[in-house]
Amino acid sequence: MSEPTTPSVPPTPPVPLSALLAREDLGLRQIAGPPAPDTVIHWAHTSEMADPYPYLLGGELLLTAGVHVPEAAGAGAYFDDYVSRIVAAGGAALGFGLAPVHDTVPRALVAACDAYGLPLLEVPPRTTFSGVARAVWQLMAQARLAELRRITEAQQSLAAAASRPDPVPSVLRQLAQRLSAQALLYAPDGTVIASAGRAPVPGTQEALRQLTGVVRPGTARDAPASATDSLGDIQLAAYALGGSSGFVLGVATGRREPADHTIASVAAVLLSLLTGEHQSGAGAARSSALVRLLLGAAPAEVAALLGGTDGAGWLVVHARPENGTPDPVGAAALGTALGSPLIDLARDVVRVLVPAGREPVAQPGWTLGVGAPAGPADWPSADAQAARALARARATRTPLVRHGARPGLSELVPRADAEEHARALLAPLAAGPALTETLRTWLSLHGSWDRTAVALDVHRNTVRQRITRCAALLDTDLDDPDVRMELWFALRQG
């Protein structure tokens, strides 16, 4: 088995070794190696193997009582080999427990840790290794909580900045403040059009400008969405905004914290929307469309201002996040991914109006329902189709469901006759919209009580009660496939 050239550090918040040493209940004491403030640990692992290399991931505090140490270890190269293997595996520090095997830490081990730059801790007899591991996890939990709190506060402040009269400078200022960084917005031609914060060192802007070339569309066949680099101790990052817009966000920080990338990504999403408005002038066109609608214009008259086409050139998409409720930042990111800024954020669903030429695809973390292509006059019908498609997607746990548009038997019957038949057949349910929608969903899901309950966000007993009520009002047997077919035909006319 070949040995890795670089350790793979576990994806956990790092804990400063100094924080562990500060725990008075543990009584740990550093007796060798570099100063604790320069060391972080990601894990705690106990091993009495003479060669722990194969069992380390990297970044651990390795704990041992020295059971593996031979009696003549101090006179040979045993400890040199032992410590060198820990360092090669990426171990962050070594903890040596006193008693019951050793009364003191072997002097040869202290010398080896000093020689290889591995922090060595003396663990007193009263402190168990499990207690040390528990303390590490407690510190990690505190670090994770602080990280999440920092991200949440930054998201809120960035969203508030984006709603100010000067949104782009406000977002950059807030980002620079949150990251203690310099934040710059680059135009498609590479010039700086807005900035906030001070450059950490001379030459930062030039280094950032060069890094923006890595993510700017057209500079590479498959340009990444973000890129990182360093200038001495300064950490640099660049984020492409709005896909092919050419705008780039550059960030320079004196140090890189775990949450920095997430916070900068939120700012990049907001700036993508803001620079998209600036570049295309679409925001003014949409405002004009809204004013015309409020003043009585028909949707067909203003559709062209929204960036689509006349005729059947639009798709209505309904989306719900897989966890929690939608928020403005998430909704904006979804609209950007679907290629449309026409977003309606409701309590539990996001509606997006997408030009038909931008075919929606499944989005990570979202469940989508897509209506059939429709012109402005048919948008309400397409909206209802998207809602039903979303309900079906959630019930079947499918990332994306499209409204069926294949020609069917309904096209063999004149529309007016089909609608008249549907009204007569479903008249007993006319006073109960919830009954009609429950019957429609239940039939679409092949009579599944559980999946219908999920789609409608009601209890399965409520579904049973409503279907029983429908059967009674319609005076029919819903277990009869002919009856189900006729009712489905009628419901599709609505």
% of residues, the chain, pLDDT over 70: 89
pLDDT at 218: 60
The length of the chain, given as a count of residues: 494
Which sign, positive or negative, has the C-alpha torsion 37, 42, 47, 50? negative
Confidence tier at 153 by pLDDT (50, 70, 90): very high
Confidence tier at 311 by pLDDT (50, 70, 90): very low
Q: Degrees (nearest 5) of the Cα angle 252, 255, 258?
A: 105
| Fold category of 412-491 in CATH | Arc Repressor Mutant, subunit A (1.10.10)
| Fold category of 15-138 in CATH | 3.40.1390
Q: What is the mean pLDDT of residues 271-285?
A: 64
Q: At what angle do helices 78-88 and 107-116 cross, to 10 degrees?
A: 40
> What is the three-class DSSP state of 239?
strand
pTM score, whole prediction? 0.49
Confidence tier at 378 by pLDDT (50, 70, 90): confident
Q: What is the pLDDT of residues 241-275, one digit of tens each?
A: 865 667 889 999 987 787 888 899 999 988 887 77
Confidence tier at 369 by pLDDT (50, 70, 90): very high
Q: Are 158 and 53 in contact (CB under 8 A)?
A: no
| Nearest-angstrom CA–CA distance, 151 and 149 | 5
| Fold category of 164-280 in CATH | Beta-Lactamase (3.30.450)
pLDDT exceeds 90 at position 52: yes
pLDDT exceeds 70 at position 96: yes
Tracing tokens 């997408």 back to the chain, one arrives at 354
Which sign, positive or negative, has the C-alpha torsion 424, 426, 428, 430? negative
- The H helix count followed by the E strand count for the chain is 16, 17
pLDDT at 274: 78
Q: What is the mean pLDDT of residues 135-159?
A: 90
Query: Closest Cα partner for 298 from 379, 398, 209, 389?
Result: 379
> What is the three-class DSSP state of 39?
coil
192-196 and 343-345 strand pairing: unpaired
Confidence tier at 347 by pLDDT (50, 70, 90): confident
pLDDT exceeds 70 at position 279: no
Residue bearing the bigger pLDDT, 172 or 419: 172
Q: Are 62 and 94 in contact (CB under 8 A)?
A: yes
| Nearest-angstrom CA–CA distance, 238 and 296 | 45
For 337-356, letters b (16+ CB in 10 Å) and e give bbebbbbebeeebbbbbbbb
| Nearest-angstrom CA–CA distance, 233 and 230 | 7
Q: Do domains 15-138 and 412-491 have the same CATH topology?
A: no
User: How remote is the C-alpha of 410 from its chain's centroid?
Assistant: 42
pLDDT at 245: 67
The domain spans of the chain are 15-138, 164-280, 308-402, 412-491
Query: Closest Cα partner for 94 from 67, 129, 120?
Result: 120
pLDDT exceeds 50 at position 5: no
Q: Is the peptide bond before 35 cis (omega within 30 degrees of 0)?
A: no
